[in-house]
Chains A and B, each alone.
Chain A
Amino acid sequence: MNDTPPDEDWRGYWLGRLDDDAAARLECRLLADDRAVDALREALTDLHDDYAREQLTVAEHAAFRDRVLRVSAEARARQRFAQAMKPLPEASRRAPRPAAAARAARRPSWTLLAGALIAAALALTLSLNRHWLAPAADAGGAAVPVRDAAAPTVLLLAPPASGPAAPVQLALDPRAVELRVQAEIRPLEPGRRYRLRVLATAATDEAPALFEATDLPVQPLGDGQFVEARVPAPALLGETRRLRVDALPPAAAFHAEWTVLAPVSRTPPIALPAP
């Protein structure tokens, strides 16, 4: 995220790494340009998050603690927020430790995630057999949305009234077993239920689906109404797919569609914080 000139070290400014002249230059920049104000605020927010995630060096940790947290009640309140935003591993109560040692121990969060995904895969074996790459005629049964923060969540907003939705690019972890796909329904017809299908790009609307979940109820989420289905990651990973939602019965007028691109990537997808 860099429209900031490379000589603007706002992070260094907060941590007291700049000499007086460099700090004065940055402060003058602050007084001349609103983008510098945003860069300053962003550097501080990122420091709060890095502190919470134990991703600061020992020196940075000490500097942030002494220069910001120790002298500002507002900063301490923001730090509590940053700590709360951090997804919580099960073994969460630990004494503060130097950041260098903490970095070496950071990887257990991947182990916990891998364990959760394996457990989810075992629990869903029957469902996978039924839905994974099965022709639409054999697929069926409702995918009951459950609140399980282990599966990454993909939010698909309703396409615009005129024209198709912009393609949605997902950064899927290749180790992901399944995704919670939440597709917005707008306009909403009370009482309707919906079908969600994953189709190959070139397939017709009624071609056999790579994945299908049917009889989906609408659920509120924030200020929108969504249907949710658990889509096996292989149905999406590495390919361009059409993800289509139809109102039931199939003859009903409503449908919405997204083009989903999911190249293989190590960047985890967006997900809501764990409970």
Chain B
Amino acid sequence: MSPEAVARLAPRLQALFAVHRPPAVAAALTAEALRRAEALPDDAAAEAIHAIARALLEADDSAPAPVPDAELDALEAAPDPALRKALRLGLARLGTDAARLLLGYYGFGADGGGDTAASRQQRRSQLAVRFGLDPSALRGRALALREQLEAEVAALAAAADPR
């Protein structure tokens, strides 16, 4: 398999493994899957690569232990004020254009989030027109901005945590 094919395949394998395992384990499984797929041609069927990935997942016993209900219940409580403060800072740092795209794409309007699947789809289509992007490009940009903001907010919140 050529380096170009490996470069195309690596993030897709990482995405698949990340559904089932933590990021570090997903990265290790990706590396092993690519090693096993080395002998495959560039145009190998996705099913062949999928078979390798599935075999690795079934052989891997590192699935994390589930956490108790109390920890999940805590997620549904009111958000930490420090986290919301970090969020506002993070949004400001993104820049107006990016913040506008991000907030519009994910429907964080003043109504508290009365989003439905239909209204979400309509809003995103309108946003693609407004920003002059095709839907795939808009989706990719929104996802990247959200990841960037999540990382920024996590870093800001961690920096502010006295513990």
Interchain CA distance A42-B138 in the complex, whole Å = 11
Interface membership of A18, Cβ < 8 A: no
- Do residues A70 and B120 form an inter-chain contact, with CB atoms below 8 A? no
Interface membership of A188, Cβ < 8 A: no
- Do residues A49 and B106 form an inter-chain contact, with CB atoms below 8 A? yes
Per-position 1/0 for A260-273, Cβ under 8 A of B = 00000001111111
Known A-B contacts A72-B64, A73-B22, A93-B77; the reply to A273 vs B96 at CB < 8 A is no
- Do residues A31 and B103 form an inter-chain contact, with CB atoms below 8 A? no
List of A residues within 8 angstroms of B94 by Cβ: 222
Interface residues of B in 88-115 (CB under 8 A from A): 88, 91-100, 103-104, 106-115
Interface membership of B29, Cβ < 8 A: no
* Residue total for A at the interface (Cβ-Cβ under 8 A): 84
A3, A81, A83: the one contacting B76 at CB < 8 Å is A83
Interchain CA distance A113-B112 in the complex, whole Å = 9
Max chain B Cβ within 10 angstroms of own Cβ: one of A223, A268, A275: A268
B interface residues, Cβ below 8 angstroms from A: 8-9, 11-13, 15-16, 19, 22-23, 46-47, 49-50, 53-54, 63-64, 66-67, 71-73, 75-80, 83-84, 87-88, 91-100, 103-104, 106-116, 119-126, 128, 130, 132, 134-136, 138-140, 142-143, 146, 150, 153-154
Interchain CA distance A108-B35 in the complex, whole Å = 55
Per-position 1/0 for A42-60, Cβ under 8 A of B = 1001100110110100000
B49, B50, B106, B126: the one contacting A85 at CB < 8 Å is B106
- In the assembled complex, 26 residue pairs joining A and B whose CB atoms fall closer than 8 Å, in A order, are A1-B138, A27-B53, A36-B12, A45-B106, A45-B143, A53-B112, A53-B113, A53-B114, A55-B116, A73-B22, A74-B23, A83-B75, A84-B153, A85-B87, A85-B106, A87-B113, A109-B111, A155-B99, A157-B96, A169-B126, A184-B96, A222-B92, A222-B94, A272-B103, A273-B88, A275-B84
